[in-house]
Structure 1
Amino acid sequence: MYKTKEDVLQAVNEYDVKFIRTQFTDTFGAIKSWAIPSEDLSDAFSEGIMFDGSSIEGFTRIEESDMMLMPDPSTFRILPWRPKEGSVARLLGDVKLPDGSPFIGDPRYVLKQAIEEAKSEGYTMNVGPELEFFVFKLDENNNPTTNLTDEGGYFDFAPLDRAQDMRRDIDYALEHMGFKLEASHHEVAPSQHEIDFRFGDVLSTADNVVTFKYVVKSIASHRGYYATFMPKPLYGVNGSGMHANQSLMTSDGQNAFYDPEGENQLSQTARYYVGGLLNHIKEFTAVTNPLVNSYKRLVPGYEAPIYITWSDRNRSSLIRIPATRGKGTRVELRCPDPTCNPYLAFALMLKAGLNGIKNEIDPGDPTSRNIFNLTPEERKDMGIGSLPANLKEALDYMSNSEFVKETLGDHLFEHYIAGKIAEWDDYKAQVHPWEVDAYLGKF
């Protein structure tokens, strides 16, 4: 694709790009964007684009608000659903202070720091995420509803999957933008879909997750639908996850998780990496599963993992080792959902795995039994713990975690927790329809 400023400027001229949407994410992963005319792009690469950081969630105070975005030329993509003449492109970038130094509260900077630590240990990280989402109808005023677009199920095709044309448009757009797709299909729940990326380096993949959500929502809107990554928009059906397949590559290009002589052809490095994830997962669940609604998905009975175990095949475990071996040997963390900030989530996964390797944390034996069928007493006897039951519990674990604080940095750590505690306090003060239905007629 594009590597340098000159590559981008040439493409802007060749494809008649008139506007560039510059983008970054706030602390919680929401896309922030504004458009600049193409004639200003050269200066933007050299001098950055100034903006007011005090208006961005979790960034900074008003008295120190001046910030700038430095576009990353490797993220330049033309938006294929926009007009061919006078086309529109997008650029992601790094948030800097006015003197050009990195802003420590920039989620992309946090991931870059974790990447540098891995590099110093002789590793690079690859990630292949599997993102699920729902597509619903709009009402007569074009407001989103939870009205289904289909009654399809897993791998269903037309007529049950009525949104397949929209999903095809998304696939074409993503491929046009340089994505390598592994799979695209209808998921288990009605109106639910999944698109999987081919694994790639962790920074590009995090950028791609941000872009993916933007593309899905944009094309769904153009088609007259509403796409949502809300983890559990419907009661009684499966929620939406973002399973994260991850591996480490050595400096000579070998998969550090593969050992043809190891048990199940897994290296000791892979086992320690799994041990690190299991050891720290409660501490960063508030990042991988960041909403009050995230914990409505993490309940028994809907395939979402809630028990802290690992397995080579068992899909009831939090961590699964898919059957592929060799270059494709990988660890699949199954709890994250697509509302997480991918930069922070991937940074914490990587650092947890590195801690496991560095401290030789043994994950114990893999669990072969279906954990959902075990009684509480059996799980207790087997030493099987659970993920936090709600956002408040997850925030309590995170607040006491030196590991998460070190990974995110003081600024982002404190702002993240403060913002999420405010969200929880607002939620618990509300009177919800279930309470009215359950109690109003009884008391």
Structure 2
Amino acid sequence: MSRKKKTDKPEKSEPADRDVASARGISGVERAKEWFGARTIEEIECLVPDQGGVARGKIMPVSKFLKSPVMNLPLSIFYQCITGEYPAYEGLVDAVEADTDMFMQPDWGTLTSVPWAMDPTAQVIHDAVTRDGRPVEQAPRQVLRRVRDFYRKKGWLPVVAPEIEFYLVEPNTDADYPLKPPVGRSGRPEIGRQGYSISAVNEFDALFEDIYKYSEQQGLEIDTLIHEDGAAQMEINLRHGDPLELADQVFLFKRTIREASLQHKIYATFMAKPIAGEPGSALHIHQSIVDAETGNNIFSDPDTGAPTPLFFSFLAGQQKYLPAIMCMLAPYVNSYRRLTRDSMAPINVQWGYDNRTAGLRVPPSGPEARRVENRVPSSDANPYLAIAAVLAAGYLGMTEELEATSPIETDAKNRDYELPRGLLEAVAELEDSEPVKQILGSSFVTAFSAIKKQEYETFMRVISPWEREHLLLNV
């Protein structure tokens, strides 16, 4: 891996040995069969992202998959908590109470190799449909498609570019012990913060070589790699594109980073706040909207280049609806440990020009690249749901013709909290917002809310070290 790839935008390439089906226009069983044969693929991982962004599905021989690429799975996987538990089904969906099956259809455009597998293996992301062929509304990919369709009906095409932060840590097999930075090639762990340090990234050169190699083989286009402010905290930016394609890339990219790290005896974690005293990890989402006919950025006037009323309404929608979509941007109890005044994460819905203390930042750019960076989502968020949620908020702002506040030029964290401080408060905001429920789908909101409430109940069963430290002998 060259130093250019680490610090600048890598040149787009299409290597001859790249194992990406989508790059070759694979569609349908017959062409997939040719692709499998050319690579002597023996096994395939059939993936579906659940509400937590966890890869569920089946692994099977390619010969069996080709005979029947549409498989069945229980609908209940979209009601499974991150702990493996399930909320009470009563009153949710009859099909879930009966543990009814749904059918998984492969999205052939996502067919690619699994470069870290010991034997030649492929993977493909599936969509969930009911017995009569309707999309399963609780499926995260369908939620994002639903939001994207609202835009398309208006003649708009949303464009996003995610930035993913994560920590590298020592292997930790005992949950009672805090996480520690891993030892790099120097033989020493990183102690002080090394934001934007090239040498700190070089400590893990061999790991990042593998991440770049595996990403290229899967068609995951990395824009830049930097060292973030935390000890052994990294950030990788992806190129901009269609929301569903970029969500797929984040989903696959998280798997890639974890797998490559394990091969180097390191854990990669996307927890929002994995280490006390260190900054949290975010999933920043850059958003712009183009006209489907002209390809012009609707945030900029084509004649003057000035920001348009739609741009400010998009901002206003994110300001108004951020509390209602918060539980999809910060989906776990741990997520809210990141959103504090003494951290680098936003705590309110203020916006500003090139102001990183605000939840909504407008980066410096020309009129054609004018965009909004939503800095609220944490890296533990399901990318499909986080992208769907912020785009939904922007859409509502434009269709409701909302007006944004004035941009803030000072430290936004000196202002009051305007975002939910905890998971249950965020879930209540979602359940109370009829416009958000309408655009995301009421059945999805019902399922997601039930999952979050159950996860909170599970969390409340655990007694924390803080409680033992301060309450054991003092109260």
Report the TM-score when normalising by structure 2.
0.85
- My pick for the range that moved more, 21-30 or 240-249, is 21-30
Root-mean-square deviation (Å): 2.3
Residue number in structure 1 paired with 2:356: 315
Distance 1:356 1:8, change over 3 A: same
CA contact (8 A) 1:347 1:407 kept: no
Give the whole-Å Cα distance in 2 for the aligned partners of 1:186 and 1:4.
Answer: 39
1:43 to 40, 45, 67: 67
Distance in structure 2 (CA, Å) of the matches to 1:7 and 1:329: 40
Say whether residues 1:163 and 2:196 are aligned partners: no
Question: Which residue identity is paired with 2:43?
Answer: F
The residue that corresponds to 1:442 in the other structure is: 474
The aligned amino acid for 1:105 is: Q
Matches of 2:274 and 2:382, distance apart in 1: 19
Please say if 1:99 is aligned against 2:141.
no
- Report the Cα offset of residue 227 of structure 1: 1.0
1:260-318 superposed Cα distances (whole Å, 9 cap, x missing partner) = 666x8322211111111111000010111000000000001221011211111111111
Equivalent residue for 1:211, pick from 237, 241, 252:
252
Question: Is 1:358 paired with 2:382?
Answer: no
Stretch moving more, 50-59 or 284-293: 50-59
Equivalent of 1:22, from 31, 46, 52? 46
Q: Deviations over 1:231-266 (max 9, x none)?
A: 00111110100000011111121111223666x832
SS across alignment from 1:336: coil
State the secondary structure of the residue aligned to 1:356: helix
Rounded Cα–Cα distance in structure 1 between residues aligned with 2:122 and 2:259 = 14
Is 1:87 matched with 2:120?
A: yes
Counterpart in 1 of 2:185? none
Q: Which residue of 1 aligns with 2:86?
A: none
SS in 1 for 2:65: helix
How far has the Cα of 1:320 moved from its partner? Answer: 0.3
SS at match of 2:296: coil
Q: CA deviation at 1:205?
A: 0.7
Displacement after TM superposition at 1:96 (Å): 1.1
Distance (whole Å) between structure 2 residues aligned to residue 299 and residue 141 of structure 1: 27
TM-fit CA distance, 1:441: 3.4
Matches of 1:307 and 1:159 in 2, distance apart? Answer: 32
C-alpha distance 333-88 of structure 1, shift in aligned 2 (>3 A): same
What is the aligned counterpart of 1:4 among 27, 32, 36?
A: 27
- CA 364–27 in structure 1, closer or farther in 2 if over 3 Å, else same: same
In structure 1, the gaps of 5 or more residues are none
Amino acid at match of 1:212: F
Using the TM superposition, name which of 3-12 and 285-294 deviates more. 3-12
How far 1:3 moved relative to its partner? 4.2
Q: Which runs of 5+ in 2 are unaligned?
A: 1-22, 81-92, 183-188
Aligned residue in 1 for 2:168: 135
Deviations 1:9-56 (A, max 9, x none): 3221111111111111122322113212112333344xx112233355
Q: Structure 1 residue 140: deviation in Å?
A: 8.1
Identity of aligned residues (%): 27
- Segment of structure 1 superposing worse, 4-13 or 290-299: 4-13
Letter in 2 for 1:68: F
Flag the 1:19–1:160 CA change in 2: closer, same or farther, 3 A: closer
Are 1:57 and 2:79 an aligned pair? yes
The 5 Å alignment of 1:11-410 reads 11-45=35-69, 48-58=70-80, 61-83=96-118, 86-138=119-171, 146-149=179-182, 150-151=189-190, 153-158=194-199, 162-251=203-292, 252-259=294-301, 265-372=306-413, 374=414, 379=415, 386-410=418-442
